[in-house]
C-alpha cells in the first residue's frame, strides 16, 4: 500500500518506519528541510531504541523515503497520515495550526479514494472539522479517520508492532476495511481492531492517558501520606496491586510524570471540558498533584540542609522524563534544577542520552558529566530523578567516599532503605519508611 506520513516527529517517524517494515511503500514528509536531509543521511533526530536500525534497513530497501515535497508524494497515496505536533497553548488547549496547515497542503493532491488519517492527538471534534475543511476545499466527499497512537517512549517499536489494541474512528466502512488491512500484520495474536466513531476515537486517546496520569498522581499522593504516618508505600502498593480491580501498572511512586503526552493531554481535556461547561475537578486535582510532586525532592534536600542551599553542590542522576528516551519535556529533573539554581546551589548532572537536550536549555549554568560517578565527586548530596538501569546497582563504596554529606535523595525508589542505612548513607525515597535509627 502507498502511504504518506505528514510529520517526522516521534509519532510520524515511528509510524512510517513500522509501516515500511511490514512491506508498504512509505514516504515521510516534513517542512524542516534540515531534518529531512539528516534522515536521508541516516541520522535519526530522536532517541528511540531500535528505530535507527529499522530506518536504515527500510531506507536501503527503498520502502521508506523522506522528502519536503508534498506534491511529489501524495498523488497515488491510499493512506495519508497526519502526525504533526499539537503543542499546548497558554490556556492548556491544543494548538491545531499544524493540523490545518497539513490539511491544506495535501488537499490539492489527494486521490478520490485516499483516506486522511489523523495520528496526532487532537481535541474531540477535530477530525469532523478536518472532514468539513477538506470537503469544502475539494468540493467532494472525502474519507477521514481518527487513529490515535498509544506509543510509550522507549518502547515505541514494540508498542506499534505488537499493540494491545488498535483504535480507529471512521465515517465509512471503506475506511475501516482499508485500515484493518493495513494493521492486519500487527494483530496476528488476536488483539482487537476497534472501530468506532470519530469523536469516540479522539476521546479514547485522552481518557486513556488521563486515567494513567490519575493513577500516578494518586499513588504519589498516597506515598507522601505513607511517609509521614510511618507506612511504606512499597508494601501498600503490593497490598492494593494484587487486587485485580486495581493492578500494579502505573502504581510506582516517584517525582511526578512528564513527557509530551500526560501533562498536555490532561490539560487539553480540561480545556475541552471547560469549553463545554463541564466540571473537571478530578483532572484539575491530578494536574495539581503532579506539579506539587515535582517539588518533593527539592523540599527534602532543602530540609536536610536547614533551608540553606547556597554554595552546596548537588549531583543529579537522570534528566530525561523517563528512561530509554532523550525527551526532557516536562521532566521532573528540570523542575529540580530550576529550584536548585534559584536557591544558589551548583549542579553536576548525568544522563545516558538526554544531556545535549538539557544543555540546549541551561547552557553552562550546570556541569555535565560524561560518567555518572563524576557527578558525585565533590558533591554534597545525590538526587535521582530517572530510573535508568545503570543507576540501579552502583558502586556505593565509591559514592560514600565522594559525597560530602553521604546522602541520597531518590525520586524513583531504586534502593532498599535498610540496606542503604547499613552502608552508612542517609537515604530518602518517596513514601518509604525510614529505619528507626534514621528517623528524626
Residues within the annotated binding site for substrate?
150-153, 205, 250-254, 258, 322
Q: Please provide the distance, in angstroms rounded to a whole number, between the alpha carbons at the two ends of the chain.
A: 66
Active-site residue, selected from the candidate residues 18, 73, 226, 261: 261
φ/ψ (deg, to 5) at 166: -120, 130
The x, y and z cell numbers of residue 361, run together, are 536549555
Residue whose C-alpha cell is 517517524: 13
Binding annotation for NAD(+)? 30, 35, 86, 121, 153, 264, 329
Judge whether 261 counts as a catalytic residue. Answer: yes
Q: Are 411 and 430 in contact (CB under 8 A)?
A: yes
Alpha helices for 230-363 (secondary structure H): 233-241, 262-275, 281-293, 296-304, 332-342, 355-362
Helix (H) or strand (E) holding 160: helix 156-161
Q: CA-to-CA distance for 179 and 257, rounded, in angstroms?
A: 32
Q: Return the C-alpha cell found at 380.
A: 554534597
Selection from 46, 49, 10 nearest residue 28 by Cα = 10
Q: Which residues are part of a known binding site? A: 30, 35, 86, 121, 150-153, 205, 250-254, 258, 264, 322, 329
Burial class (CB in 10 A: 0-12, 13-18, 19+), 80: buried
> Which has the closest alpha carbon to 249: 215, 226, 200, 275?
215
H or E stretch at 222: helix 198-229
Kindly list the catalytic residues: 261
Amino acid at each position: 500500500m502507498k502511504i504518506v506520513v505528514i510529520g517526522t516527529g516521534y509519532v510520524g517517524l515511528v509510524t512510517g518506519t513500522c509501516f515500511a517494515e511490514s512491506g508498504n511503500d512509505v514516504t515521510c514528509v516534513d517542512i524542516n528541510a534540515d531534518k529531512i536531509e539528516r534522515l536521508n543521511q541516516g541520522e535519526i533526530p530522536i532517541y528511540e531504541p531500535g528505530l535507527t536500525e529499522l530506518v536504515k534497513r527500510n531506507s536501503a530497501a527503498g520502502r521508506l523515503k523522506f522528502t519536503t515535497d508534498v506534491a511529489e508524494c501524495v498523488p497515488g497515496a491510499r493512506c495519508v497520515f497526519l502526525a504533526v505536533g499539537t503543542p499546548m497553548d497558554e490556556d492548556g488547549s491544543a494548538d491545531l495550526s499544524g493540523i490545518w496547515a497539513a490539511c491544506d497542503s495535501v488537499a490539492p493532491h489527494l486521490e478520490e479514494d485516499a483516506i486522511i488519517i489523523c495520528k496526532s492527538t487532537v481535541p474531540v471534534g477535530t477530525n469532523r472539522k478536518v472532514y468539513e475543511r477538506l470537503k469544502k476545499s475539494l468540493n467532494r466527499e472525502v474519507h477521514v479517520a481518527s487513529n490515535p497512537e498509544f506509543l510509550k517512549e522507549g518502547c515505541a517499536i514494540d508498542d506499534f508492532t505488537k499493540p494491545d489494541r488498535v483504535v480507529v474512528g471512521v465515517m465509512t466502512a471503506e475506511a475501516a476495511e482499508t485500515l484493518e488491512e493495513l494493521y492486519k500484520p500487527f494483530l496476528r495474536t488476536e488483539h482487537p481492531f476497534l472501530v468506532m466513531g470519530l469523536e469516540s476515537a479522539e476521546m479514547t486517546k485522552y481518557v486513556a492517558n488521563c486515567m494513567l496520569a490519575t493513577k500516578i498522581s494518586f499513588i504519589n499522593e498516597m506515598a507522601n501520606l505513607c511517609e509521614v504516618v510511618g507506612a511504606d508505600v512499597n508494601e501498600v502498593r503490593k497490598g492494593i496491586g494484587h487486587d485485580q480491580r486495581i493492578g500494579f501498572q502505573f502504581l510506582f511512586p516517584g517525582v511526578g510524570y512528564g513527557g509530551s503526552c500526560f501533562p498536555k493531554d490532561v490539560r487539553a481535556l480540561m480545556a475541552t471540558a471547560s469549553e463545554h461547561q463541564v466540571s473537571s475537578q478530578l483532572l484539575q486535582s491530578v494536574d495539581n498533584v503532579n506539579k506539587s510532586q515535582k517539588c518533593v525532592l527539592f523540599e527534602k534536600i532543602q530540609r536536610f540542609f536547614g533551608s540553606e542551599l547556597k554554595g552546596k553542590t548537588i549531583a543529579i542522576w537522570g534528566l530525561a522524563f523517563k528512561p530509554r528516551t532523550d525527551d526532557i519535556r516536562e521532566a521532573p529533573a528540570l523542575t529540580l534544577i530550576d529550584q536548585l539554581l534559584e536557591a544558589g546551589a551548583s549542579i553536576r548532572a548525568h544522563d545516558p542520552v538526554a544531556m545535549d537536550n538539557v544543555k540546549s536549555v541551561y547552557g553552562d549554568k550546570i556541569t555535565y558529566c560524561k560518567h555518572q560517578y563524576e557527578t558525585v565527586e565533590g558533591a554534597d548530596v545525590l538526587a535521582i530523578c530517572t530510573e535508568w538501569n545503570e543507576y540501579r546497582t552502583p558502586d556505593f563504596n565509591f559514592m560514600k567516599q565522594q559525597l560530602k554529606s553521604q546522602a541520597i535523595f531518590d525520586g524513583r525508589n531504586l534502593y532498599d532503605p535498610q540496606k542503604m542505612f547499613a552502608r552508612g548513607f542517609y537515604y530518602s525515597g518517596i513514601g518509604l519508611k525510614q529505619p528507626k535509627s534514621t528517623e528524626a
